[in-house]
């Protein structure tokens, strides 16, 4: 099999899974519209970044260095993930499900508003990674994991993203979270 044939088969498989996941999420979302529609705003950078800024300030004011460290890493992870995600969107240009319901529309969207990868997935997975790396297997980490999963379902149910968009966003956010931890550790060591 040629490389092109293999790539086509992989994309066909991804597109098939994306179509099935969209149909199921949309059907379930019709049953619980308040939950379906209520998760996009709290998972946006416009909410998460000020909340992390407040946590950073609280950590400094209350002499809780763990809070400040988590907040710094979360902010940096979201920022790094956002830059990476916007770059990927401009290259891939995948159309959103609400723009034709055809998962095979790769390269068919405005790069600024493209679907792949999901920015909300980047945000919540960057946050979850920062929490997990700082708090370990804790209730806080479990809550952020649950939140990330719920936001993923909401993104599919509201037809903002395909499942593969969300998976790619999660991977991007995790990598950004790991990079943020490393950069923050380097900065702490260098500046102290």
C-beta separation of 169 from 119 below 8 A: yes
The angle subtended at Cα 149 by Cα 147 and Cα 155, nearest 5°, is 100
Residue 93: C-alpha distances to residues 39, 110, 138, 182 (Å): 24, 6, 37, 30
Task: State which fold the 3-191 domain adopts.
Answer: Vanadium-containing Chloroperoxidase; domain 1 (1.20.144)
The whole-angstrom separation of Cα 131 and Cα 138 is: 9
C-beta separation of 81 from 172 below 8 A: yes
- How do the pLDDT tens digits run along the chain, 192 residues long? 566 777 778 777 887 878 888 787 777 777 877 776 777 778 888 899 999 999 999 988 899 999 999 999 999 999 999 999 999 998 888 888 888 777 777 777 766 678 889 999 999 999 999 999 999 999 999 999 999 988 888 888 888 888 899 999 999 999 999 999 999 989 888 887
The whole-angstrom separation of Cα 103 and Cα 82 is: 23
Full-model pTM: 0.85
C-beta separation of 24 from 153 below 8 A: no
The whole-angstrom separation of Cα 3 and Cα 104 is: 18
Where exactly are the structural domains of the chain?
A: 3-191
Q: Which helix (H) or strand (E) holds 76?
A: helix 65-92
Q: Which two tokens stand for residue 56?
A: 């950073």
- Model pLDDT, residue 2: 67
């Amino acid at each position: 099999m040629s490389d092109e044939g293999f790539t086509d088969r992989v994309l066909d498989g991804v597109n098939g899974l994306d179509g099935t996941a969209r149909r199921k999420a949309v059907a379930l979302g019709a049953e619980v519209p308040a939950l379906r529609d209520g998760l996009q705003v709290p998972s946006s950078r416009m909410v998460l970044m000020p909340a992390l800024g407040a946590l950073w300030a609280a950590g400094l004011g209350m002499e809780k260095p763990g809070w400040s460290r988590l907040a710094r890493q979360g902010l940096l992870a979201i920022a790094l993930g956002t830059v990476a995600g916007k770059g990927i969107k401009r290259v891939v240009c995948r159309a959103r499900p609400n723009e034709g319901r055809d998962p095979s529309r790769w390269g068919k969207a405005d790069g600024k508003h493209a679907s792949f990868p999901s920015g909300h997935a980047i945000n919540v997975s960057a946050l979850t990674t920062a929490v997990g790396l700082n708090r370990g297997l804790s209730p806080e980490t479990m809550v952020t994991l649950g939140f990330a999963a719920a936001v993923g379902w909401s993104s599919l149910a509201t037809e903002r993203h395909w499942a593969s968009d969300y998976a790619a966003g999660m991977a991007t956010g995790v990598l950004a979270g790991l990079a943020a931890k490393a950069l923050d550790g380097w900065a702490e060591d260098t500046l102290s």
